[in-house]
Structure 1
Amino acid sequence: MQIDKIDNCETFKKVRENWDSVYADDPHTHFFLSWVWLSGWLPMVHESWFILAAKPNTQDSSYVAFFPLKMLLKYQDGGGFETQICMLGNSMADYTGLICLPGYEEEVIPAFATYIQQQLVWSSFDVKSILETDTRMSLFLRSFSRDSFDLTQLRIQSVNRDDPDNYIAPYISLPDDWDQYLQNYVGSNTRQKIRRFLRKVENSDEFYITHVDADNLESHLEILLNFWGSRWRKKKGDNYDVIMNYYNFILRHCFKNNCLYLPVLWQGDRPLGAIANFVDIQQKSMLFVITGRDQTVKNPPPGLILHADAIRYAIQNGFKVYDFLMGNEEYKYSFGTKERHIHHIVVKDKNYHNRQQNAEDILPLALQLTVRNHRSNRLTKAEQGYRQILEVNSNHPEALYGLGVLMRQKGEYQTAENLLKNLLQVQPNSIKALFSLGNLYQTQGQLSEAIEAYNQILALQPDAIAAYNNLGYALQQQGKWEQAIACYQKALELQPDCIEAEVNQANALHAQGKLSPEKQAHYAALNNDLGRKCKQLGDFNTAVAYYQQSISMNPDLAEAQSNLELLLQEKSKQENATSEQKTLTCV
């Protein structure tokens, strides 16, 4: 069995027809393994993802199975990194797994397991959100010898006893007829309510249901997500924005791909509730995703009406399953559901440290994690990551650069300079290393060195706009006004809308008394804006210079004065904290 690795969106797009064919013939798959859902999910995945694809031999053009996974990286306390494989759908897919053409399971699944054990370096494999009915995953897990691997079944309990059990997934196995469903699946009380309230909506001029289409998509989504947000914002805490962004994107994506059912219940012009379902035409199932309602409305009950409407739609269109997904909330059982259970298995490699023969293999993942921490301003973790990468490869260009930039942010200028110079020994023509080194020199007032670095950049890349701008600024600080203005003009010639060059040129003209009062007021505001921008980037010294220039041009600009005062206070606190840390280190 030939196992290939798909790890980019371009290749994933190319296998769509093959994927859809396998998906359509696989009787055990689900919507979270569809090409449509995954193609919407992948742009939101920040980790390194890959899909194992199996074909009987190298000559075959088509794959018979796909296994979507991702790799996570964690820092070890004692240094180094630890890798973990996870199911690609985590953390938003209610179910995960693999897809496979019938008849190939016995050959494909052990081949997947062998590839993972022999070709990938990992400490643990988090096999999460697996339906207990998924016999393929059971076969997969049996391929991990207990002599070499520890397998543990997890069941994480919520600290709040009132929370639903997310290891249970209620669903309805739908009959062919709506009346049959009402008669045989639900209790008499629920049956009467469904009939009464659906009639009330259908026979009323006051109540009605609208269904999503191209004209009302945005309004329907806004209603649904506003209702959901008002109910769950506080409880979801730090995860709220992540979940909301997912719903915003995936629901639009599914509508675009004709697999979204989103009705809204109205009373006149007032929306009472909304519900969104994924529609899986190939597997003949509807999956309840998200709902929201006006919490002040009890009669008629929006949730009951909208679920009943969706179930009726599913039956009338030949669907076989209405899936409530994870969570055993009590109301779900009133619709005649059965239970499926979800398993969570963690596989740990007992020989991980012995198998980690080539640490270079995980450096791309390590860099990805470290850069993400750096961009998120988690500087301590980022520094740890860069240093651990450099322990493995002392000449790693991206780690040298990243740590150099970070050290400059921390005010450790000599360390930053050494790192950037080391990078230039590895990559003598590195534009970004020269640029960062020039900026570092300029921050410290080493103007001649900064000018030399910027000139080196321009020798390598004559159209480097930022280098002209920064060179002009360094020359301006030396009092070489005409040369500085010439640099700004060159930058503006290359990019007429370069606001930094325009403002710096105006500042040079102002210093020479050549800027009109009207323009002074205009550029005072722009200097203040650039000061704010530099502060956000952590470049406090340049921010101070812009604020001071703003005040020089317009002493009455209170905002610039306030910004400067606050920045100087923050800068002083930061310098004191750094000084205290250095003192503690030396003790």
Structure 2
Amino acid sequence: MQIDVIDDFETFKKIRENWDSVYAADPQAQFFLSWVWLSGWLLRVREQWFILAAKPDTHDSSYIAFFPLKIVLEQQDGGGFYTELYMAGNSVADYTGMICQPGYEEEVIPAFAAYIQQQLEWSSFNVQNILETDTRMYPFLRSFPGESFEFTQHRIQNKGDDTDNYIAPYISLTDDWEQYLQNYLSANTRQKIRRFLRKIDNSSEFSIAHVNADNLESHIDILLKFWKSTWGEKKGNTCDIIMSVIRANLRHAFEHNCLYFPVLWQGDRPLGAIANFVDAQQKTMLFLIAGRDQTFNNPPPGLILHADAIRYAIQNGFKVYDFLRGNEEYKYSFGVKERRIQHIIVKYKNCQKKKLDIRVLPLAFQLTVQAHRANQLTKAEQGYRQILEVESNHLEALYGLGVLMRQKGEYQIAENLFKNLLQVQPNSLKALFSLGNLYQTQGQLSEAIETYNQVIALQPDAIAAYNNKGYALQQLGQWEEAIACYQKALELEPDCIEAEVNKANALHAQKKLSPDKQAHYAVLNNDLGNKCKHLGDFKTAIAYYQQSISMNPDLAEAKYNLDLVLQEQKTSDLLTVSN
């Protein structure tokens, strides 16, 4: 059995015909595994999704099974990442799973399980929202050996809500509306539904309007307004996000002709609305969301709209009316049965050794850079190292870790990292420039100058390279060459304060700076010292403060800053030794 991975939307679009064929043949297929539903969700899901696609062998052109998944990057409080595997439809699909051509399950199930264990990197796998009637997921889970994995049943209970979202009520519809009323409902409910629907059907006061292209947006607005009035306070900050997702789902369903969306009116006053997904292939109608005017109860909008939808479903040959997850009391008045839903978490017993999955490296790098910029060096170092464990030539991680090691004073490690980067990308300007700075920090001035020359050869207008080369030449006492470098930097960027100050310092060393300019540049040296101190470059900060005092021995601020940075450097050195 060959397993391919589909992880881009264009490829997903190309296999629609194949997907629809498998979906139509699969008696266990359900709407949240349809191409139509997934095509709307996968465009919006933030996590990295992918689909395992199975075919009998490499010579076959068509797939016989699909398993939609997603992988999520998580971060531990103390630093370090790990990855979790989820069903692709979480957190909006009421049911998840796989689809498969009948007759291939015994080959497909272990093949999917083997691929997940051998080819994907994860610490836990949330097998969530699986119907108890799904005969495939339990053999699938048994393919994970007990000596390597542990399994736990998981339940989430919303605070202040007694609803059990692990129960999914549904109606097995009859072929006849009257038969449904007679056999499924209590006498009281049956009487109410007949009376209220007759009132709506024969009334000039009340009407039910069905969705079309002209009223779609107004229907959505009505529904969401009612829904928010009931749930807005409880949902809090997530309310607008939820409504945005609902709006997108309704639009997508309408565009693909799988939405039943009536609104109950009294004259020009909307009383309630209900939105159902329509799965024509599986002959199922699925209740998504409803909302009503809380000040109006006679006739009851919710009862009328559900009854109308059930009647429509029966008249059009549907077999199931699915209320989806949640055992709210009102659902049971419609003669429902129950299905149970499972949420099983599979974990490696030794998950600490798991690498990151390559699919999450972009996000891991983004979060690592954020930690680095926030000076959370331990977290950042862990992140860079985890990325390099997966992709040893990850250029940005090599560079970031090199910079971090230089910050920590681990100069040899930093040098090796920059050199590793340059082996992969010899003309990396930032790696060369950082290597030059590293040489200069260690007093390897000739090596620094040579490296800056490489930068300048690649980029003749590299202002910082001229400035830093000048500083290295200045430290070697090559004053004229240093001044020439500073002058070149200033020609390229006349407002380059660092080059201007360094040039003044070189002139001062040659006793070529007037007293008034000495006072001026003493202040600027102090300012540059503050800048370097803020960046954690204590050595350069000390040099600027000392230069400031040399130019103006009476500048108390520079003396204070010098004492302060010397103390901070001493503390930093002690911490480094203790670690």
CA distance in 1 between partners of 2:41 and 2:377 (Å): 26
Is 1:371 matched with 2:362? Answer: no
Tell me what 2:272 maps to.
273
Tell me what 2:209 maps to.
210
Tell me what 1:109 maps to.
109
Tell me what 1:302 maps to.
301
How far 1:337 sits from its partner (Å)?
0.5
CA contact (8 A) 1:261 1:276 kept: yes
The one-letter code of the counterpart of 1:85 is L
TM-score (norm 2): 0.69
Distance 1:29 1:397, change over 3 A: same
Is 1:147 matched with 2:147? Answer: yes
CA RMSD of aligned residues (A): 3.9
Tell me what 1:124 maps to.
124
Deviations 1:287-316 (A, max 9, x none): 000111111111121111111111111111
CA contact (8 A) 2:94 2:325 kept: yes
How far 1:240 sits from its partner (Å)?
2.3
Distance 1:121 1:286, change over 3 A: same
CA contact (8 A) 2:365 2:387 kept: no
Partner SS, residue 334 of structure 2: coil
Distance 1:320 1:475, change over 3 A: same
- Taking the TM superposition and a 5 Å limit, the aligned residue runs for 1:346-495 are 346-353=345-352, 356=354, 359=355, 362-371=357-366, 384=379, 387-390=382-385, 392-393=387-388, 396-399=394-397, 427=425, 477=495
CA contact (8 A) 1:423 1:433 kept: no
Distance 1:169 1:364, change over 3 A: closer
CA distance in 2 between partners of 1:30 and 1:324 (Å): 13
How far 1:372 sits from its partner (Å)?
6.5
Tell me what 2:193 maps to.
194
Distance 1:201 1:62, change over 3 A: same
How far 1:428 sits from its partner (Å)?
6.6
Deviations 1:91-127 (A, max 9, x none): 0000000001111111111111111112222211110
Partner SS, residue 23 of structure 1: helix
**Which structure 1 residue ranges, 5 or more long, are not aligned?**
407-411, 437-452, 461-470, 480-580
CA contact (8 A) 1:197 1:305 kept: yes
Partner SS, residue 27 of structure 1: coil
CA contact (8 A) 2:393 2:421 kept: no
How far 1:457 sits from its partner (Å)?
7.4
CA distance in 1 between partners of 2:382 and 2:256 (Å): 45
Distance 1:6 1:395, change over 3 A: closer
Distance 1:202 1:127, change over 3 A: same
CA distance in 2 between partners of 1:377 and 1:206 (Å): 66
**Which structure 2 residue ranges, 5 or more long, are not aligned?**
435-454, 463-488, 498-567
CA contact (8 A) 2:50 2:69 kept: yes
Tell me what 1:8 maps to.
8
CA distance in 1 between partners of 2:199 and 2:377 (Å): 60
CA distance in 1 between partners of 2:130 and 2:5 (Å): 22
TM-score (norm 1): 0.68
Computing the radius of gyration over CA atoms, which structure comes out larger, 1 or 2? 2
CA distance in 2 between partners of 1:381 and 1:177 (Å): 67
Distance 1:166 1:217, change over 3 A: same
The one-letter code of the counterpart of 1:127 is V
How far 1:363 sits from its partner (Å)?
4.9
CA distance in 2 between partners of 1:401 and 1:240 (Å): 42
- Taking the TM superposition and a 5 Å limit, the aligned residue runs for 1:158-237 are 158-160=158-160, 162-237=161-236
CA distance in 2 between partners of 1:108 and 1:349 (Å): 22
Tell me what 1:29 maps to.
29
Tell me what 1:53 maps to.
53
How far 1:75 sits from its partner (Å)?
2.1
Distance 1:44 1:386, change over 3 A: farther
More moved, 5-14 vs 89-98: 5-14
Tell me what 1:498 maps to.
none
CA distance in 2 between partners of 1:294 and 1:220 (Å): 14
Partner SS, residue 137 of structure 2: helix
How far 1:185 sits from its partner (Å)?
0.8
Tell me what 2:84 maps to.
84
Distance 1:402 1:37, change over 3 A: farther
Tell me what 1:447 maps to.
none
CA contact (8 A) 1:367 1:399 kept: no
Deviations 1:215-266 (A, max 9, x none): 1111111111121122212212233233222111111111100001111111
Tell me what 2:510 maps to.
none
How far 1:387 sits from its partner (Å)?
4.9
CA distance in 2 between partners of 1:300 and 1:380 (Å): 63
Partner SS, residue 384 of structure 1: helix
- Taking the TM superposition and a 5 Å limit, the aligned residue runs for 1:535-550 are none
Deviations 1:28-51 (A, max 9, x none): 111000000000000111111111
More moved, 369-378 vs 189-198: 369-378
How many residues align structurally?
A: 453
- Taking the TM superposition and a 5 Å limit, the aligned residue runs for 1:552-563 are none
CA contact (8 A) 2:153 2:343 kept: yes
Is 1:97 matched with 2:97? Answer: yes
